Structure 1
Amino acid sequence: MDLIIVGCQAGDEGKGKFTDIACASAYAVVRYQAGPNTGHTVVADGAEHRFVQVPAGVLRGAVAVLGNGCVIEPVALLAELSALRAAGLRVDLRISELAHVIFPYHVEQDAAEEDWRGTELATTAATGFAHGTGRLGTTVRGVGPCREDKAARIGLRMADLLDENLLRARLSRLVPLKRGLLERVLGRPAAPEPAGEEIDRLVARYGAAGRRLEPHLCDVSRFLRQARADGRHIVYEGAQSFGLDLEHGTYPYVTSGYSGAGGVTVGTGTSPAQDFSVLGVAKAYTVQVGGGPLLAEVDGAVADHLVTRGREWGTVTGRRRRVGWFDLPMVRRAVEVEGIRRLCLTNIDVLAGLAEVSVVTGYRIGGRVTDTFPSRLPDLAAATPVLRRFDGWADTDWPSVARRGPAALPGAARHYIDHLADALGVEIAAVGVGPRREDTVLLGDTPLLAPAATPPRHGTTTGPEATRAR
């Protein structure tokens, strides 16, 4: 059975860690959406590894797959691959030839559109937050504008980089269009470089990047079908999270793609009739980068405690993350929509040392209390969290807890974990008690991830098809 790993909050839950763990028995690890706007960090074998466009499962030797739902910055991808090789990692990579390409003008458009939205994120019902105005907190990596072009049917795909005549013809139309948008609509200064020189530069640079990546291009849908026919185990790595999903997240403070489990079928060409298991990942508190609602946000000493101990700084942006208490209605919505029965909970150790911790059980909106996450922006803006408080737990030797197992967890921490499981109606399958791969406590009687047979490949190949070191 294929496994989909999905974040249940607004990102940064620790999906990379559990993707890494899952890929111990996986043949391939697949990203089905996102691009250079995401980042996963895995600490293994005494080293910290950061992944942006490459899936985190490559540490285990899994084939890395970027589906058609991804948007690719090919120059940055080549740099990331070079850095991973310099760190001693072998990356066996497959890229969908249908994935769309991010160009520099997308990055410029991203920044200009963010400025257009406003200089400050409004936070009251009377101003922007209630009406979806103000900055979104985008990473300004060009992902949204690239997808705008995709929906407008004017974008360029990875396969298009291989045809210089086509590439030049399309860019000869697109560069003037983007310059007009930036200058006359979004108020950006006129570009100092003549349009013809910009087109020449883009054709040369991105055409060269496409040729270097050509050996990795393939029909990803067919590749995955063949892998399943061969009995191989596939892990789908959610690069973002349910709360950021374009359809089901806190719109407009969302990403531009389908980051929930449903994005797998669209973003890889995998049939919805395929048998999937969905594993949820949630942090023991909530974090948010940039704009968007964080209804139980904390500040002061508690926020500093969580940010410092949890190293709450964006992998891609470097921005300090906003932090708040665990939001049960938010996570419950993800659990129900995604069909999650098993959940991994991270960063229990980060809460250690607080006198008490809280959980959001519902919201007070006007004169009523609801335990359903609000979908309307005015309700989100007006909502006051209803909190349930729990005794905190002391800091301890967390690596020792991981080695000794569930019985070694502090009693107050176990009570907190059990309450979340009961309130969400899920099994907490594992708890993270530190950043390293081995800082994981497995709960319950069933394995976190049932091992699957990985048959050897047929024949001997070279280049991107080369057999992985196991």
Structure 2
Amino acid sequence: MLIKIPDGAVWVILGAQWGDEGKGKIVDLLSEDADIVVRYQGGANAGHTVSFDGKTYVLHLLPSGIFHPNVVCVIGNGVVLDPIALIEEIEMVKSAGVDVSGRLFISHRAHLIMPYHKLLDKLYEQGDDKIGTTGKGIGPSYVDKYARVGIRVVDLLDRDVFCKKLRKNIELKNEIIEKIYGETKFDVEKIIDEYIEFDKKIDEYVTDTAVYLNRAIKDGKKILLEGAQGALLDIDHGTYPYVTSSSPTAGGASTGSGIPPTKINGVIGVIKAYTTRVGEGPFPTELKDELGDHIREKGHEYGATTGRPRRCGWLDIVSLNYTIMINGIEKLALTKLDVLDELDEIKICVAYELKGKKLKNFPTDSETLSKVEPVYESFKGWKTKTSDLKSYSDLPSEAREYIEAIEKLTGVKVSIISVGADRNQTILR
């Protein structure tokens, strides 16, 4: 099932909702005709699931093109790296018969997640004001990055530089951890030894990936830029403060990879046929009833990284049109259509009302968003199994009507339709 990518094309594939849209499957599918796949932000809080040949793999840091032997995979400078998670993941794909030598590159500018980042992440989540993070240390690592005290992969190359930076960081972090939270201090020497050992394991993969990628563009290579999380979790454009700590949007693809925006010539937004959200924060179309439970169970809506149950609700066109606007999305990939197969009625949120008035734009401030009332359009369910269907014309007329309503409401074509987890359970238009 080959989707042709033009020579020299650079496409961004990103989540257009609150994450968990099925980006792993779509990137894996597109990778069949790609030369390079780049993860450009986030960390091991991502869980990208790839299923083929009866097996399922969950990737947290490695790009979702890793299972295609001719694809080079790049972890960009915008990613924060957890050494333990990365080594475990490399070993996992190796045990599956995947050779990563010569086809995995890691940016020397990528920041490292340290043990104290994970502890701080969990400590910050105590109390009533929690965001609902994965506790993987992502946020605290990005905090250090923007405070200009972060430790990068390149710092491991010089033991003296690394030790100096680490000692300064641990001195500050120990003060917070011990005095405020009453936790034990971190052992500097132990961490130094662990990370120097990590450097030996990843040394063959480390390079200046920005230089590599821009040379590849000149050579006419086909490149996919893979986002983690979703646009509504973007640190700038998402539903702040209930967001991730990086930029999953198309703008983040450029800064997180070193590829200039003028070289990006396509953006594909991945959406579910409904909407889900993990963690805290407003969710206008959330179904807090048996129907929401049905969608969760039917769609196996549990976090690939944490196992947490996802909140489920109807497809939200208001938020989708917002993410289409800020990302310049030109095509949509619709996933999990099959999850809706058994429903008598399916709804789409087409507008928000606040105090009896329709809102013109999507409100990204959480206070306003938590008060809006969704306005729905209803569609007749198709009550037919779709997971075995191979072409658009095979879909029930009600399913086609639903998809075409999405296109009409957004002005964007749905080019890829997923009707199951396996890469072959896909309909192309």
TM-score when scaled to structure 1?
0.87
Determine the structure 2 residue equivalent to 1:129: none
Question: Which residue of structure 2 lines up, in the alignment, with residue 244 of structure 1?
Answer: 233
Query: Residue 255 of structure 1 is aligned with which of 231, 244, 253?
Result: 244
* Contact in 2 for aligned 1:161/1:211 (Cα 8 Å): no
Matches within 5 A, 1:40-439: 40-61=48-69, 62-91=71-100, 92-115=103-126, 118-119=127-128, 134-184=129-179, 187-191=180-184, 195=186, 198-396=187-385, 398-399=387-388, 401-402=389-390, 405-439=391-425
Alignment check: 8 A CA contact 1:162 1:211 kept? no
- Contact 2:343 / 2:381 at 8 angstroms: preserved in 1? yes
Q: 1: CA distance between counterparts of 2:130 and 2:375?
A: 27
How far, CA to CA, are the matches of 2:299 and 2:119 in structure 1?
32
Q: 3-state DSSP class of the match of 2:12? A: strand
Letter in 2 for 1:144: G
- Asked if structure 2 preserves the Cα contact closer than 8 Å seen for 1:74 and 1:209, the reply is yes
1:178 counterpart letter in structure 2:
K
Match of 1:24 in 2: 32
1:442 corresponds to: 428
**Separation (CA, whole Å) in 2 of partners of 1:327 and 1:431:** 18
Q: Deviations over 1:302-350 (max 9, x none)?
A: 1121111111010111100000000001011111121112111111110
The answer (yes or no) to whether the contact 2:81–2:112 under 8 Å persists in 1 is yes
2:18 pairs with 1:10: yes
Aligned amino acid, residue 181 of structure 2: R
Question: In structure 1, what is the Cα distance between the partners aligned to 2:130 and 2:373?
Answer: 22
CA contact (8 A) 2:338 2:386 kept: no
Q: Output one character per residue of 1:30-78: Cα deviation in whole Å (capped at 9) or x when no partner.
A: 0111111101001112211110111111112211101111100122201
Secondary structure at the aligned position of 2:303 is classed as coil
- State the one-letter code of the partner of 1:168: C
Contact 1:433 1:441 in 2 (8 A): yes
Describe the SS at the equivalent of 1:37: coil
Q: Please state whether the residue corresponding to 2:77 is helix, strand or coil.
A: coil
Provide the identity percentage. 38
Secondary structure at 1:253's aligned position in 2? coil
Deviations 1:110-164 (A, max 9, x none): 111111xx33xxxxxxxxxxxxxx2211011001100100111111000112222
Deviates more, 1:143-152 or 1:168-177: 168-177
Is the Cα–Cα contact under 8 Å of residues 36 and 72 in structure 1 kept in the other structure?
A: yes
Structure 1, unaligned runs of 5 or more: 120-133, 444-470
1:325 and 1:387 map into 2 onto residues whose CA distance is 9
- Contact persistence 1:29–1:237 (CA under 8 A): yes
Root mean square deviation of aligned Cα: 1.2
TM-score relative to the length of structure 2: 0.95
**Shift in Å, 1:438:** 0.7
Q: Which letter does structure 1 place at the counterpart of 2:263?
A: Q
Secondary structure class of the residue paired with 1:273: helix
Displacement of 1:371 in angstroms is 4.8
Partner SS for 1:255:
coil
Deviation at 1:215, TM superposition (A): 1.2
- Counterpart pick for 1:39 among 39, 42, 47: 47
In the TM superposition, residue 370 of structure 1 has moved relative to its aligned partner by 2.0
CA distance in structure 2 between the aligned counterparts of 1:74 and 1:237, rounded to whole angstroms: 20
In structure 1, distance between residues paired with 2:250 and 2:215: 21
The whole-number CA distance in structure 2 between the counterparts of 1:109 and 1:316 is: 19
Supply the distance in 2 between the matched residues of 1:258 and 1:291 (Cα, whole angstroms): 19
CA contact (8 A) 1:7 1:15 kept: yes
CA apart distance, 1:397: 5.2
Superposed displacement of residue 261, structure 1: 0.7
On the 8 A contact 1:293/1:380 being kept in 2, the answer is yes
CA distance, structure 1, for counterparts of residue 243 and residue 386 of structure 2: 38
Tell me how far 1:387 sits from its aligned partner: 1.1
The residue type paired with residue 411 of structure 2 is G
CA distance in 2, matches of 1:275, 1:236: 9
Aligned residues: 418
